[in-house]
Amino acid sequence: MKELTYLPDVATLKLCENTCNGCGMCTKVCPHDVFEVFAKKAHIVRRDYCMECGACELNCPVHAITVKSGVGCAAGIINGILKNSEPTCGCSNNNSKCC
Amino acid sequence: MKDSFLTGNFQVANATVPLVSTELHSADFWGAVMVRWGFNRDNYRVSPGLYAVGNPDQSSDVFVTANYKLSFDTLRKSLSGINGWILVLDTNGINVWCAAGKGTFGTNELIRKIRQASLEKVIHHKRIILPQLGATGVAAHKIKEETGFNVQYGPVRASDIKKFIKNGYRADKEMRRVTFRFMDRIKLISNDLLYGKFYLLGAIAIILAISGVAKDGFAFRNLFDKGSEAIINLFFAYISGIVITPMFLPYIPGRSFAMKGFLCGSLTFIILLLSGMTGSNLFENLSWFLIITAVSSFMAMNFTGSSTFTSLSGVKKEMRFSMPVQIGFAVAGVILQVIGKIL
């Protein structure tokens, strides 16, 4: 089966190569194989597969990665607009749907 | 909850740890089926804390998971034949990935549970294995700083754990990548089907009211003739968006879910048109095209939250474009419906 891809050129993922220490943690936590380490630095090799989950930013020990992470969920975004807050999928403490 | 998975107690370092079975029983199976259909979904939990599987000792591995029982069951089933420890975090009964996104499967909670379990007394090594998807909520280097334990991210799927261990605690690319196969999508459909029930009931109420409209005012007899046809059309539009589109997701053209839902809805409209379900004049036909595609597109767009590859930026972008179209279609559809009936 072909791999599913979403909209191109939207990901907010940024990697600062000067800061990167090449530890490769981002390659371990990324669920879509976006990074690759070569020449002692991480590189974004599959940007359009990024789903902005934020695992790389959180686990980068030298803070070389930034991404505006959040739920890629239409219901969550509508939720956020209605409650005038960040998009939230309401996974806990209430009966609404989990994303 | 009846904890049928508990098989006894295990004594370690002056503490008593519950021992769990790695076999799933019919209660676990039916519990899972119920949860998939929305029953008891918000309360399908296990108690957080430390558990033992097999016959673990101080050199055994520690596997961390969420206190959603489906997550816990998946993990213990994958640990058959392994002697190890399970550390369950309190995620309010939410699965690992969702809870990590919320931060409840998070750095602070993991630190708390490591301390509560006095993990440094239970094991004499420093490795704890987390599901890779927990990384969205846990900063491995902070766990190291605070507790001295090394977080090792295991595979995405618990079923790969044995392979992961055999590989010398390394996950290969296949184990690291999230997929969204046919069966993964099928499992989610029951829950999504229920999710939009209020949208569906609301739409049915509106369309029933319109069904009563006739040349000479409002006629209740029309509610039954025209109304049943209208309910069937809406129901199929809904199914098109939330069942058919997810099932055939990779094969429907378009990148955005709204577009996929629109195309699937168009096909649904054609089938209903050929079945004579979409009214007797051009206004009514066109009206049904607009309503069916709008409903299908909107419901398909809602499936983004269940998918495993959509980003916040992407969903926002597709919503900015498609929601005005969906609303425009629905409103125009309702107006044409009324015109078609009065003509």
Chain B, nearest residue to A33 by Cα: B177
Residue B192's nearest CA partner among B137, B252, B261, B127 is: B261
Whether residue B244 has pLDDT greater than 70: yes
Q: Whole-prediction pTM value? A: 0.90
Chain centre distance of CA B198:
18
Burial of A34 (0-12, 13-18, 19+ CB in 10 A): buried
Task: Please say whether the beta carbons of A67 and A51 come within 8 A.
Answer: no
- What is the phi/psi pair of residue B10, to 5°? -130, 125
Residue A75 C-alpha, separation from nearest chain B C-alpha, in angstroms: 6
Query: Is A23 in CB contact (< 8 Å) with chain B?
Result: no
Cβ atoms < 10 Å from Cβ of B176: 20
Q: What are B247's two structure tokens?
A: 């099932």
Query: Is B296 in CB contact (< 8 Å) with chain A?
Result: no
Strands B150-153 and B127-130: parallel
Between A54-63, B122-131, B190-199, B295-304, the lowest mean confidence (pLDDT) is in B190-199
Q: Furthest-apart CA pair in chain A: how many Å?
A: 49
Burial of A29 (0-12, 13-18, 19+ CB in 10 A): buried
Whether residue A75 has pLDDT greater than 90: no
Model confidence band, residue B119 (pLDDT cutoffs 50, 70, 90): very high
For residue A50, the chain B residues in CB contact (below 8 A) are 311
Query: Which stretches of A9-66 are DSSP H helices?
Result: 25-29, 55-59
pLDDT at B66: 97
CB–CB of A89 and B302 under 8 A?
Answer: no
d(Cα B18, Cα A47) in Å, to the nearest integer?
A: 45
Whether residue A2 has pLDDT greater than 70: no
Q: Please, which residues have CB within 8 angstroms of residue B84's CB and are 6 or more apart in sequence?
A: B52, B53, B54, B56, B60, B61, B62, B63
Angle at B25 between CA B21 and CA B28, to 5 degrees: 95
Query: Is A24 in CB contact (< 8 Å) with chain B?
Result: no
d(Cα B302, Cα B300) in Å, to the nearest integer?
A: 5
Give the nearest partner residue to B132 out of A2, A29, A99, using CB atoms. Answer: A29
Query: Is B150 in CB contact (< 8 Å) with chain A?
Result: no
Domain residue ranges of chain B, discontinuous segments joined by +: 6-176, 182-342
Q: Please, which residues have CB within 8 angstroms of residue B151's CB and are 6 or more apart in sequence?
A: B110, B128, B130, B138, B140, B143, B144
Mean per-residue pLDDT, A58-87? 90
Q: What are B156's two structure tokens?
A: 């995405």
CATH second-level architecture of A1-68? 2-Layer Sandwich (3.30)
CA dihedral B210, B211, B217, B220 (to 10 degrees): -130
pLDDT at B99: 95
pLDDT at B2: 52
Residue A34's nearest CA partner among B157, B139, B177 is: B177
pLDDT at A96: 39
pLDDT at A90: 57
Model confidence band, residue B94 (pLDDT cutoffs 50, 70, 90): very high
d(Cα B60, Cα A6) in Å, to the nearest integer?
A: 41
pLDDT at A95: 38
d(Cα A71, Cα A79) in Å, to the nearest integer?
A: 11
Highest mean pLDDT among A4-8, A86-90, B65-69: B65-69
Residue with tokens 């490591």: B114
For residue A95, the chain B residues in CB contact (below 8 A) are 42
pLDDT at A93: 42
Model confidence band, residue B212 (pLDDT cutoffs 50, 70, 90): confident
Chain centre distance of CA B241:
16
Task: Please say whether the beta carbons of A53 and A64 come within 8 A.
Answer: no
Give the CATH class of B6-176. Answer: alpha beta
Whether residue A94 has pLDDT greater than 70: no
Residue that wins the pLDDT comparison between A95 and B35: B35
Query: Is B53 in CB contact (< 8 Å) with chain A?
Result: no
Whether residue B1 has pLDDT greater than 50: no
Mean per-residue pLDDT, B263-275? 97
Whether residue A79 has pLDDT greater than 90: no
Query: Is B319 in CB contact (< 8 Å) with chain A?
Result: yes
Q: What are the pLDDT digits (tens) for B134-147?
A: 999 999 999 999 99
Mean per-residue pLDDT, B209-228? 78
Domain residue ranges of chain A, discontinuous segments joined by +: 1-68, 71-99
Interface predicted TM-score (ipTM): 0.88
Model confidence band, residue A99 (pLDDT cutoffs 50, 70, 90): very low
Query: Is B92 in CB contact (< 8 Å) with chain A?
Result: yes
Mean pLDDT taken over chain B? 93
Amino acid at residue number B79: L
Residue A13 C-alpha, separation from nearest chain B C-alpha, in angstroms: 10
